[in-house]
Structure 1
Amino acid sequence: MEQIARVGVDLAKNVMQVHAVDRAERVVVRKAISRERFVNWFANREPCLVAMEACGGAHYWARKLRSLGHDVRLIPPQFAAPYRKGGPHVKNDAQDAEATCEAASRPQMRFVPIKSPAQQSVLVLHRMRTGFVEERTALVNRLRGLLAEFGVSLPQGIRSLQKHIVDRLEDGSNELAGAARQALIRGWTQCQALDREITWLDKQIAEHAVHDEQAQRCMKVCGVGPVTASAAVATVVDARQFKNGRQMAAWIGTVPRQNSSGGKQRLGRITRQGNDYLRTLLYQGARSAIRTAPRRVDRLSRWIVQLQAPVGYYKTLVAVANKHARILWAVLAKGEKFDPSHVVGTPSAVIPATYMLGATRFRGWLSS
């Protein structure tokens, strides 16, 4: 067998497809390997470049193959898809492995850093918390909707439900039958159980943020709490993979979609691409920063106040989330401490120019 230079792998639950080429780009191996024989097959090969799509289980297999001496690269699926023969309408495991192998040969290809077991363990807490929050929201909406069928109206919001639902269920003057009333009580009990699980997960995430030095630096940013700081540290892995803060903000999905040509810049709506969980947390933190900005006197807060006047609340919300993403990049990539009053150059000259630049850029976004 010719010496293998690069291997593309299409991961699956039980059968892995591999596509290997030599240094002359000739196909050497194209076969399916069972899960049990997957690691052994690579253990009998000389160290080479192994590329896989960043999907479920990819970080685990990457750590396994890296321990055997292979150079493992994880490629975002959207970057490997254009190299698949047949386009988006023709897809199978062999073509996916070949496309991944071809994508890994591109010199400008971007790769996903491999997460450690500790980082993935932290993300387990966040995923479980997100799932419980979604379940609780769905359950609250279901309880409100079912009570409305009997003319029992409850205010919106989880806190309002917690305050009024017991009185409504115990009120004998409504039309609720005995079995229906008991079913709704059991639903409310389940909602309380979800509250306890979310509280426990919040404590675990806060504990991770307290003991992690990078998370502590992130929490110095106004609007970035333990949940956002912990998620940023565990998700980004290595912020130095981004050249600057704008790249990280684009990866999170807080920048406008571009349709530029001929030297003319056309900025559209926010892309909403990238990491939706981290983007959601940044938007929630931005709401807090905007709400408290009038009470603070630092440079960043003054920028928020002056930006909101011409462009409105929602454009300012996106701008602040984008700003926080860039600040987090500087904190994580350079190891710097956040200074809300930091100024580059002469303060009297720089600050007004910054305000005008920010207002001009965001005034053009979503103008309708």
Structure 2
Amino acid sequence: MKCSVISIDLAKNVFQICALDEKRQVLFNKKVKRTQLLQELALFEPTLVVTEACYSSNPWGRRIQALGHTVKCVPAFMVKPFVVGGKNDRNDALAIAEAALRPKIRFVEIKSVEQQDIQSLFQIRQLLIRQKNALSNQLRGLLAEYGEVMPKGYVHLRKLLPDVLENPNNELSNISREFFHQINDNILAISNQIKEIETKIESLIQNKPSHQRISQIPGVGPIISSAIHAFVNDASAFKNGRQFSAWIGLTPKQYASGETNRLGNITKRGNSALRRLLIQGSHILIIHCEKTDTPFNLWLRQLKQRMPRGKCVVAVANKLARVIWHILAHDEAFSQEKVCY
């Protein structure tokens, strides 16, 4: 059977398939069981198959690609405006097809198993960091109730806690000392797990040409480099560096009407994990820019003098995103002179 586009509303057990012809007329819109999906798609000549970007779109996308079809994923927020009528699988499948045919829709690329491995490690790492911070804050709060006030930051807690627990002159009881020891052991174990994950992430991307190029950029280490590899399939899919930076959410909101044009805070849309890493890298660069007189550090010092700290951090993160895009899209090496031009 020949059709111009097939849309699939993915689910857990029962999927909805909608097919449109070249005139965008519905050929069929039916339910298919999970075990029958690939058999059903194998009956069609190679065509465009679109799904909504969701938790299972990557594995299904790879399986459908193996049948010879071209697979694209539409972001969920771009599908919603095309839903006509009530919320049901038939309307959702038709809306996915309609959205995919719009000329300005930006699709989500199907990720490889390797990219999903790195993403999984990132998610586990972030979970462990939250657990570590929660335990550290809880331990600091409990110590304060016994009159032992700790400075902010886990570094100070790790350094001072052994002396506090071994001090017989404070008000800590034997019970509290025992449980505080256990909490501290848990924090140390989580810290070791985080280091192991970071080592694993670095080993997965250390031989990648893209990593070797962008790791030369100041503020871009193995974690940011691996995040780029995991979340960005093809940098050339973005028209320019500003579009890439906007995808990460580092460009300002625009309020324009008639002759009025105002820019607000950054949009914070897109990939929050990648945006957070770039912001953290920018903080480190600004802190250490006084140590050496490289062209990039000299540019950072001038930037610090022109704008407030927070705005400066976001500006540097925006700059890093654009430099990363340029290096990946044009297959070039990093040059500080070009960056600071």
TM-score w.r.t. length of structure 2: 0.93
The Cα shift of 1:56 comes to 0.9
Q: Percent identity?
A: 39
The RMSD of aligned alpha carbons is 1.9
Aligned partners of 2:47 and 2:176: how far apart in 1? Answer: 63
Q: Partner of 1:251 in structure 2?
A: 247
Map 1:163-312; keep pairs closer than 5 Å.
163-312=159-308
Q: Aligned letter for 2:231?
A: T
Structure 2 vs 1, CA of residues 295 and 186 (structure 1 numbering), >3 Å: closer, same or farther? closer
Q: Aligned letter for 1:6?
A: V
Aligned partners of 1:112 and 1:283: how far apart in 2? Answer: 24
The Cα shift of 1:324 comes to 0.3
Q: Aligned letter for 2:246?
A: A
The Cα shift of 1:180 comes to 4.1
Map 1:1-368; keep pairs closer than 5 Å.
3-86=2-85, 90-342=86-338
Q: Aligned letter for 1:301?
A: N
Moved more, 8-17 or 217-226: 8-17
Aligned partners of 1:95 and 1:193: how far apart in 2? Answer: 49
The Cα shift of 1:194 comes to 0.6
Q: Aligned letter for 1:37?
A: Q
The Cα shift of 1:334 comes to 0.7
Structure 2 vs 1, CA of residues 172 and 74 (structure 1 numbering), >3 Å: closer, same or farther? same
Q: Aligned letter for 1:246?
A: R
Q: Flag structure 2 segments of 5+ consecutive residues without an equivalent.
A: none
Aligned partners of 1:189 and 1:91: how far apart in 2? Answer: 50
Task: Determine helix, strand or coil for the equivalent of 1:51.
Answer: strand
The Cα shift of 1:177 comes to 4.5
The Cα shift of 1:172 comes to 4.2
Q: Aligned letter for 2:52?
A: E
Q: Aligned letter for 2:272?
A: D
TM-score w.r.t. length of structure 1: 0.87
The Cα shift of 1:278 comes to 0.5
The Cα shift of 1:250 comes to 0.2
How many residue pairs end up in the alignment? Answer: 341
The Cα shift of 1:34 comes to 2.2
1:85-127 Cα offsets, whole Å, 9 max, x none, are: 24xxx53333222211110111222111221112222222222
